[in-house]
A = this chain, B = another copy of it.
Amino acid sequence: LAIIQEYVPLEIDAVPSGGQVFDWTIPKEWRIRDAYLLGPDGRKYADFKRSNLSVVNYSEPVDTRIGLTELKGHLHSIPSLPGAIPYVTSYYSRYWGFCLPHRTLEQMPDGEYHAYIDSEFVDGNLNYGHYVLSGETSQEVLLSSYLCHPSLANNELSGPLVLLLLYRRIVGWKRRRFTYRFILCPETIGSITYLAQHGATLKKNVISGLVLTCLGGRGSLLSYKMSRMGTSLIDKTVLHGKRHGMVDVRVRPFTPTGGSDERQYCSPGFNLPVGQMARAVYGEYDGYHNSLDTKDFMDLSTLIDSANQLEGVLQALEYAGYFINLKPYGEVQLGRRNLYPNINSDDTRSLSTDQKMDNRTQLNNILMILNYCDGNHSMIDIAEMCGISVQKIAPFVDLLEHEKLLTLQVQ
């Protein structure tokens, strides 16, 4: 969090161990200093100093001599990936264990082993970082990622890095209709904690959001998991963007049975309009939750492409919402605002066919926007009715806002 704070002005909050957050209790902090598994042959079969994946996360301390047979109840490997150290945790049931490559496990000789874990559980804190970047309205776009998987790249670092890139892009935009909220917390219990402390504000303000996870991975498309409601602005924007070639994305339905923090944001008591954006999706690649999930697998240029595409989605989202025609009684007098051809004639001498079509199409877009901005049609809906992308309709929205004929509806 401190490193990311150098790039995003995160406020870092702490909730002490023992604190109650909805159905959950903040656990004690786990301090780990060293851990190894010394064989009868003097070889270290697992060594925390070499890989912090070598110890089951949240292991209780142990310092014992133990035979191989009994020890095996404390060992974790992946037979199908014999070179990988798995990532294993045991947060809510007291346990100790080691993780090691299956290839190494198969070489372990019989005999007595020294299992040593120098850990302790202390009254500490759950920390999260967040920052609210104000826009023209208090309506919020939530961007959330997590910090909790040690040493993993795609399934850990990719989310915070894209969040950081998006912050720097958005802060540079000429205008922001929406307020942007950036959140970094440990997965699951972190977002539950965040909701316990800020849920009422989120429920009031959030009009769209994205959980960012697994956004690296060479050669893969972006992959969007719909929000639980399935019809929120972010859902409409991604589907529209896909249809109009603005974003290269596959779409997954919402499910509460797996995923990231959208499971919390979309729990039935909140049901926030928050989807999830991924790329090399959790569970779908070999390196998932093991030591093969490296910076090399993640690929920085893919991260940057993810950020580029997501910036485009968010820019489209700025125009996606419900705007209101401020002069809804009869048509607006476009003529005196220079928005209508003042000579009403079918005389085509002075215009080429292309130009004429273009002028007429522009006028039609203006008439469509003014007629359908009634609070029941999103600008995505209107763009679809016009047969164009929301990107192409955006200049007309700007123009009509400038003429004080249109305003964003604050929900």
- Identify the closest chain B residue to A337 (Cβ): B23
- Known interface pairs A22-B327, A23-B332. Does A268 touch B372 (Cβ–Cβ under 8 Å)? yes
Cβ of A107 < 8 Å from any Cβ of B? Answer: no
Interface of A is mostly: loop
Cβ of A396 < 8 Å from any Cβ of B? Answer: no
- Identify the closest chain B residue to A377 (Cβ): B268
Cβ of A67 < 8 Å from any Cβ of B? Answer: no
Give the Cβ gap from A145 to chain B, nearest Cβ, in Å. 17
- Known interface pairs A79-B349, A89-B344, A329-B269. Does A228 touch B195 (Cβ–Cβ under 8 Å)? no
Q: Which residue of B86, B257, B374 contacts A367 across the interface (Cβ within 8 Å)?
A: B257
Of A31-39, A90-98, A236-244, the segment with at least 4 beta carbons within 8 Å of chain B is A90-98
| Residues 65-81 of chain A, each 1 if its beta carbon lies under 8 Å from chain B, else 0 | 00000000000111100
Cβ of A325 < 8 Å from any Cβ of B? Answer: yes
A277 to B316, CA, bound (A): 38
B199 touches A329 (CB 8 A): yes
Q: Which residue of B22, B256, B268, B371 contacts A256 across the interface (Cβ within 8 Å)?
A: B371
Q: Which residue of B188, B263, B336 contacts A92 across the interface (Cβ within 8 Å)?
A: B336
**What chain B residues lie within 8 Å of A188 (beta carbons)?**
331
Cβ of A330 < 8 Å from any Cβ of B? Answer: yes
Tell me the A278-320 residues at the B interface (CB within 8 Å). Answer: 288-289
**What chain B residues lie within 8 Å of A263 (beta carbons)?**
331, 371
Cβ of A126 < 8 Å from any Cβ of B? Answer: no
A345 touches B23 (CB 8 A): no
Q: Which residue of B196, B266, B289, B333 contacts A24 across the interface (Cβ within 8 Å)?
A: B333
**What chain B residues lie within 8 Å of A344 (beta carbons)?**
88-91
A267 to B372, CA, bound (A): 9
Give the Cβ gap from A245 to chain B, nearest Cβ, in Å. 25
A residues whose Cβ falls under 8 Å from a Cβ of B? 21-24, 56, 76-79, 86, 88-93, 95, 188, 191-192, 195-196, 199, 228, 255-257, 263-264, 266-271, 288-289, 325, 327-333, 335-336, 342-349, 363-364, 367-368, 370-374
